[in-house]
Chains A and B, each alone.
Chain A
Amino acid sequence: MMNTDAVVHSLVHTNTVECVRNDYKGLPSTLCQGCGHNSIASQIITACYELNISPEKIVKFSGIGCSSKSPTYFLSRSFGFNGLHGRMPSLALGALFADHTLHGLGISGDGDTASIGMGQFKHLVRRNIPMVYIVENNGVYGLTKGQFAPTAEKGLRLKRQGVNAFQPVDICMEALASNATFVARSFAGDPKQVKELLKAALSHNGIAVLDIISPCVTFHNHENSMHSYMGGKALEAPLHEVTYVPSREEIVIDCFEEGETRDVILHDGSMVRLKKLEKDYDPTDRHRAFQMLDESEKKKLLITGLLYIEPYRPSLFDLYVLPETPLNRLTEERLRPPKESIGRLNQMML
């Protein structure tokens, strides 16, 4: 959380794109008091403000569910499209081609992504489109008042359906398996980490999947579940301490001993500095990431941090030779073949 001085500062201090923090705000939230999604919304606002991204340079997307309602609670000056249940990825992909200079920000939930939307999610990831894809993961269907989500832990008891008999879907594992180039897990109760990971994700040139455990205080706040605040806090095991360092900033951080930190330089020249906690963790080792997720599942730990990153794989946009001018600003003379071409075309049809 920001301290009072920081709050006051952000109200009056304009960033490099002439915006104060309030320029990134949305409408008041209609989600439950204490919902993890509200905390994530707040970190999105701060991250975008601090990253100096003009709100007009961001486009929001969402599917259906509590999570997908939240894009109205931040970035009112950004365009947004609240699409269909599980089908946000295709919508976002098409829309982002309209202007490749925009930052795509997708908000989904665990049901929206890992149940109805699993196919579109995995194909979006596979295509490596540059956008941030946040899963606000609470392990429950909130908007329909408490049914099992695909990420619900085995053995979870719900009021009407009884006990969940199935293994949960691990969204980070699915993203990794689909060759995601940025996979992170965080916890809405750890706002600093959420913010730093968000900044890194927004600077990544490719798909950035952020699986954020975001407690549902109304339908799924059992203290023994890692989807609750208490459970999450108790079980959270950060892989490292994440600090995002913008490209313009001279890197002056306290001296670490050798092997204490790992720096990952991102596509735009900014950097993620990962400070070692208990064990060293190499986030560029995909095999290790799988292993880590597997271990954490067995140990019932909520592993958080940057699980995997591959900063330089070509993005979907790199596979097309797009003009500098955004496609949606091209005018007729650049879109319609010249008149003299029709004669040649007809000749080809003889």
Chain B
Amino acid sequence: MELANPVQIKDTSPPKNGAVINDFCITFSTINGSGSATANTTLLRAIFKMGVPVSGKNILPSNIQGLPTWYTLRVSKDGYLGRLEKDDIVVSMNPITFSKEQEYIVPGGVLLYSDEIKLHIRREDIHVYPMPVNNILNTVGIPAKLRDYTANMVYVGILAELLGIKMKNVVQALEFHFKGKESAIKPNLDVINLAAKWAQDNLKKSDPYFIRSMDANVNCIISDGNTAAGLGAIYGGVQFVGWYPITPATSLAETMHEYVPILRKDQKEEGKETCVMIQAEDEIAAIGMAIGAGWGGLRAMTATSGPGLSLMAEYLGLAYYTETPVVVWDVQRVGPSTGLPTRTAQGDITFANFIGHGDTQYILLFPGSVKECFEFGWRAFDLAERMQTPVIVLSDLDLGMNQWISEPFEYPDQPMDRGKVLWEDDLEKILEKTGEKWGRYLDIDGDGIPYRTLPGNQNPRSAYFSRGTGHDEYGAYREDPEVWERTLSRLKLKFETAKKFTPKPILREMARAKIGILSVGSTDFSIQEARDQLAEQGIATNHMRIRAIPFDDEIRKFIEAHDIVFVVEINRDGQLKQLLTIQFPEQATKLKMVARIDGLPLSANWIEEQISAKEASK
């Protein structure tokens, strides 16, 4: 191949410390909207197909086109999927951030950059490879309108050659991405092939980084948490989705729009739809619709993020008090206010817990992996209908929008739990059993959960009037002090009952550990890596990942059993720790806050440093 202007490759010395195989991090710096997501996920999937554990994270601006955007790929033979705070390899396609990025590269690391960038390279301790992006595109003869979208494929080809990513796996990844559409695959693959060929002919590899096939991903899938959650809901028999677009929750609802027609064709009435989806005019309407549907007996949900959840506050209070099942997915982002809409956080924990005026309570679920997003996708409906109350599932942007290697989704291992619903004959039976005593809010079983009837029930005694105003066991308007108190006490009892149904915490133990760690959600990946690092220093830890509120009694026992318990979370004020302090005041002095909010997922290093520093200062 002849290029118009062959580039001069700087000859750097060969790897000093030997090869680095399957254990490094690549950061891609591109311009938002330039189609870099296709290039990046192609690499992610190709590495995955080689059997090597890999994770990818977008670090996006809140912008559609034009601002800098980053993507990091972490390759980890040990299977660590959390964020790493270092750049081994930087691929720079963006002149604006070029100078800054050089600073982050580890000594002996790699800088690949588009040779269109004519800026000074200050670092002398890194391996530098300019990439002749335009020359390659010209040679392939990419039409002008597609140039921007295929330019990033140049680094896919060069990296494949440089690191040893197999071209057959790259092709598989492209086929997946473009759903086998040849007309889309071909121009991209042409660029990749030519770029790889160019690298083979012109680059003299001096860096130590290699990817070598493993078999770590047997039976694994790749998905983001939002896709998993939407699919889980579909397997949970969701019947109504009212939603309003908001980053980072939009893809959850959009996944459902995509898969409902495929997975939810009525088995009995051919061609009929068993799930209704409506994009509402705002989040208040979205939750209103979902609560209406839940009241009507449908498995109903919405998906939102912090600002949307704020708008839903009044309706959630109504649903709590009228005992209406509904599922809310809150894919958390950085707040307050509009905050950092494209950055991750666990900042809605206290808000979600206390949402609404007066005395309220909710069932909160915290999925900690993609697989669990799927599981809680269906389980949340069982809980909401069994307990007749809102269930708020707190995911986050990191889990929801990034691609994760995961064990495959598991078919629900339990039949649907529709809770205590009385249709025409059921009502007759219960009236007979109780001696004509049934009321919508009457606690017949002593577990705080009443029996409900649904609109459409033709039994003349089935109807009741739902209201946010004070009501007695029969749904009648009442302002009597004792009635109000009685109802609120029963609701509290109901949440005690809820503990029998909520997912138990997950405990991971090490021998002779005196230190405990408590966490929720997506921090799990970095926490496990941090625990390994701490263990290497001789600090053994036990970890309990909480999966639900109301808090399980196991959590109290866990705190009791340890000298000190670090509560790790992504927010400023230690919100999970605050709730634990309220729930277990007698244990509160043992709890230590390990919390941070900078818009990024917590790294294992940071967690390890915090815990070891606090241990050392004891």
A70 smallest CB distance to B (angstroms): 12
A84/B240 in contact, CB under 8 A: no
B240/A332 in contact, CB under 8 A: no
Question: 1/0 contact trace for A44-84 toward B, CB 8 Å?
Answer: 00000000001110011000000000011000111111111
Complex CA distance for A60 and B287, rounded to whole angstroms? 19
Complex CA distance for A339 and B469, rounded to whole angstroms? 44
Complex CA distance for A84 and B271, rounded to whole angstroms? 36
Complex CA distance for A120 and B284, rounded to whole angstroms? 9
- B266 surroundings in chain A (CB, below 8 A): 323, 334
B296 smallest CB distance to A (angstroms): 3
- At the interface, yes or no: B455 with Cβ under 8 Å from chain A? yes
> How many A-B contacts at CB < 8 Å in the complex?
210
B423 smallest CB distance to A (angstroms): 8
B466/A97 in contact, CB under 8 A: no
Give the residue among B240, B271, B415, B459 with the most A Cβ atoms within 10 A.
Answer: B240
A90/B285 in contact, CB under 8 A: yes
Known: A82-B468, A332-B415. A325 touches B269 (CB 8 A): yes
- B409 surroundings in chain A (CB, below 8 A): 342, 345-346, 349
Question: 1/0 contact trace for B439-466 toward A, CB 8 Å?
Answer: 0000000000000011111111011111
Of the stretches B117-125, B131-139, B272-280, B540-548, the one at the interface is B272-280
Complex CA distance for A322 and B223, rounded to whole angstroms? 31
- At the interface, yes or no: B498 with Cβ under 8 Å from chain A? no
A120/B456 in contact, CB under 8 A: no
Complex CA distance for A178 and B221, rounded to whole angstroms? 47
- Of all chain B residues, the one with the shortest Cβ separation from A127 is B278
B274/A327 in contact, CB under 8 A: yes
- At the interface, yes or no: A3 with Cβ under 8 Å from chain B? no
Known: A94-B242, A349-B221. A84 touches B288 (CB 8 A): yes
- Kindly state the interface size class of chain B when it binds its partner: 35 or more
B285/A320 in contact, CB under 8 A: no
B378 smallest CB distance to A (angstroms): 8
B463/A337 in contact, CB under 8 A: no
- At the interface, yes or no: B235 with Cβ under 8 Å from chain A? yes
Instruction: Specify which of B281, B412, B465 is in contact with A119 (CB 8 Å cutoff).
Output: B281
Instruction: Specify which of A79, A87, A119, A334 is in contact with B464 (CB 8 Å cutoff).
Output: A79
A336/B285 in contact, CB under 8 A: no
Of the stretches B150-158, B297-305, B388-396, B523-531, the one at the interface is B297-305
- B294 surroundings in chain A (CB, below 8 A): 94
B298/A328 in contact, CB under 8 A: yes
- B415 surroundings in chain A (CB, below 8 A): 332
- At the interface, yes or no: A96 with Cβ under 8 Å from chain B? yes
Instruction: Specify which of A98, A338, A341 is in contact with B298 (CB 8 Å cutoff).
Output: A98
- At the interface, yes or no: B290 with Cβ under 8 Å from chain A? yes
Complex CA distance for A347 and B282, rounded to whole angstroms? 35
Chain A interface mostly = mixed
B450 smallest CB distance to A (angstroms): 16
Complex CA distance for A286 and B235, rounded to whole angstroms? 45
A349/B296 in contact, CB under 8 A: no
On chain A, the number of residues with a Cβ less than 8 Å from chain B's Cβ atoms is 58
A90/B284 in contact, CB under 8 A: yes
B605 smallest CB distance to A (angstroms): 30
Give the residue among B176, B240, B411, B469 with the most A Cβ atoms within 10 A.
Answer: B411
Question: 1/0 contact trace for B159-180 toward A, CB 8 Å?
Answer: 0000000000000000010000
- A72 surroundings in chain B (CB, below 8 A): 465, 477
- A89 surroundings in chain B (CB, below 8 A): 285, 288
A98/B288 in contact, CB under 8 A: no
Instruction: Specify which of B242, B267, B280, B456 is in contact with A101 (CB 8 Å cutoff).
Output: B456
Complex CA distance for A349 and B405, rounded to whole angstroms? 10
Known: A94-B300, A327-B298. A120 touches B288 (CB 8 A): yes
B293/A97 in contact, CB under 8 A: yes
Instruction: Specify which of A60, A76, A78, A336 is in contact with B412 (CB 8 Å cutoff).
Output: A336
Question: 1/0 contact trace for B390-428 toward A, CB 8 Å?
Answer: 000000000000000000111110011000000100000
- At the interface, yes or no: A239 with Cβ under 8 Å from chain B? no
Complex CA distance for A320 and B272, rounded to whole angstroms? 8
- B295 surroundings in chain A (CB, below 8 A): 81, 91, 94-95, 98
Beyond A92-B292, A123-B281, 9 additional pairs, beta carbon < 8 A: A82-B468, A84-B318, A90-B242, A90-B287, A96-B296, A98-B455, A324-B269, A328-B454, A337-B263
5 pairs of residues in contact across A and B, judged by CB atoms under 8 Å = A78-B463, A95-B292, A323-B273, A329-B456, A335-B274
